Structure formats: structure tokens, C-alpha cells
Amino acid sequence: MGEHGPDLDRRAINGGHAMDHRRRRDHRPRVERAEARILLSTITDLMASNSIGHQRSALAKQASTLQYFMAQHTFPVRAAVAGGHGGGGNGAGTGSNGNNGGASTGFTPFTPSKTSIANPMTNQGQQGSNFALQPVGNLTPSELKRELFSASFQGTYTVSPGRTDAEAAVTLIKGAGHGTTFLHGDIQFRVVTPRNPTYVDIQGNTQTTQLGGVAAVFDRNLNSNSVLGLDAAGADSNVDASGRPIHFDKVTIDVNESAGLYDEAFAQGTIDVRYTPSRHHAKGLIEQGFAVVTIHAQIYGPNVDYILTNANINPGGPPP
């Protein structure tokens, strides 16, 4: 030990420098130079779009785009009818053909009704032949390919007692999977197994029972706004050794459930189910376990309710 204590000896051992195991950090605030960046034109436009002035200019641009479209595309116009209400582009109607006036087109103008129009016979649903809703004839190969649909789901199932004395059991299947028109989807499938082969309807007639079910397939991409509703039926004998329903050969679209891509659609196909029961089940259930649902179908729809079809439209963009 040196004459001035241990500190002097440690300085001598380390070359005259005191050894300190703690690293000193400078926590004083400093101003650092920001990296220079040039904003992209798209970002600049988005920032400018938030201003009221730009919104007005966007509306003006949209109007000019519509005028450009009308100027570039000609539409068949019938000879003007004398005494009509709407003229051409300068008449009472809007656009090059007029709107409510029949003078520019030769057609009878639309006249609103002063009484209620809530008449399902004339103002709701298809009126006469409409090939957009109900096409006829032989399908082209491309159309047939477009209508083919398949999906597979894996999930859980439960079997509970029937809700009435005419039902033997109710099977509920919930699963996740994928299909032809969606990458990730969900299914809820409820099936009722009848207790007897026949039943008496409300008119007193004897009817034959069958397996009956209803399924809803949801696209997890909420932007598609699509739900596929299916009504399923099969013979009472389409069950496995434990009485669980496994095959449905009467599958049609459920227009009350379907939406988006499957709105106003028609469907036919089959649904198959395979079960793996668990050793135990919850109280109140007959059985529970895992299930796999497979759907093979042909679905036609007018395809005008899929909102993502308009994803490439930019109302305030350049002319087409």
C-alpha cells in the first residue's frame, strides 16, 4: 500500500489512471439535426385535401371529369319529341340525354306517384325476364369456372337435446377456414335431427321428415361485406353410426342471410361433415367435440353488391 493509500496504488497499476467500473453518461438534453426529406407528391396531395379549399377544387375536378367522360362517350339519342318536358343537355334533364324529360330520348318520362308505391307485385323484385338476375342457356367455360365454389372449415361442435318433441337433437358447428372467394372465413352451421320419419303439418297432412340445417359463412375481410347463407337438407339416413348428420345433398342459397358477393344469388351443392367426439361433454349436452365441414357448390350472383369492386375508383382523380 502506498503512502497515499490504495487509490494511489490502483492508479500506478493501471498506468496512472483511476479505474472506475461505472460508465458515465451525459443525460443533458441536446438538439439534433433532423434528417432532410422531400415529401412525396401523393403525401402532399393528401395533406392538402384536408383543407376546405382543396375539397372545393376536388369537387370541381370531379365535375370536369364527368364532363370529359360525357364528351368522350356518345349515347344513342332518339329524335326529340315536340312538347317534351326535358331537352338535351340544355333541357330540363341533366346530362347530354336529359334526366326526367322524354324529349331528348323519345321515351316516356318518369312521373312520381302521389300514392304509396309499397306494392310488392309491381315495385319489388324481378319484373318479367331479367337475364342479369336469372340468366338462361348454356354456360361458357369461363362462367362455369367463376360459379364453382368450395370451402373447408375446422372447429368445434355440440349436440344438445331437441327443442320440441319432434326433434331428436340439435347439432351446432362453429369453425374457421378458407374458401374460393375468401382467404379467411368463419362458419356457423345448425342442424336439426328429427325424431320420427314423418310428422303432421299445420294443415293436418302427413309429411316426410329429413335432416334440416342452415349455415352462414362469413368473410373475415369486413371490407367485402359478404355473407353466404345456405339452407341444407338431407335424408334421415345420411348419418354416421352414432346418428350424427354427415351429408346434405340439397343445398340452396338463403337470400335472407346472404349479402355482398352472394346477394341475389342462386346455389346448389353438397355439404359434408366429419366428427371427432371428445371423451367428456359439458352439462346439458349430449356430445361435443371437433368437426370438419366441407362445401362443394355452384353459386351464381349478379355480382353488383361486392363493394371492393369499386376500390380502384378515384372520384377526384384524372380523367379516365
Reported as a pLDDT band with limits 50, 70 and 90, residue 93 is very low
Reported as a pLDDT band with limits 50, 70 and 90, residue 95 is very low
Pick the CATH number of 150-300 from 3.40.720, 3.40.250, 1.25.40, 2.40.350: 2.40.350
pLDDT digits (tens, 9 = 90+) for 168-223: 999 999 999 999 999 999 999 999 999 999 999 999 999 999 999 999 999 999 88
Task: Say if residues 126 and 134 touch (Cβ distance below 8 Å).
Answer: yes
- Which residue, chain included where needed, has cell 361486392? 306
pLDDT of 89 strictly over 60: no
- Which residue, chain included where needed, has cell 355482398? 260
Q: Give residue 64's pLDDT.
A: 63
Nearest-angstrom CA–CA distance, 276 and 246: 12
Phi, psi at 53, each rounded to 5°? -60, -40
Torsion sign over Cα 127, 130, 136, 142: negative
Nearest-angstrom CA–CA distance, 268 and 282: 36
- Which residue, chain included where needed, has cell 324481378? 126
Reported as a pLDDT band with limits 50, 70 and 90, residue 31 is confident
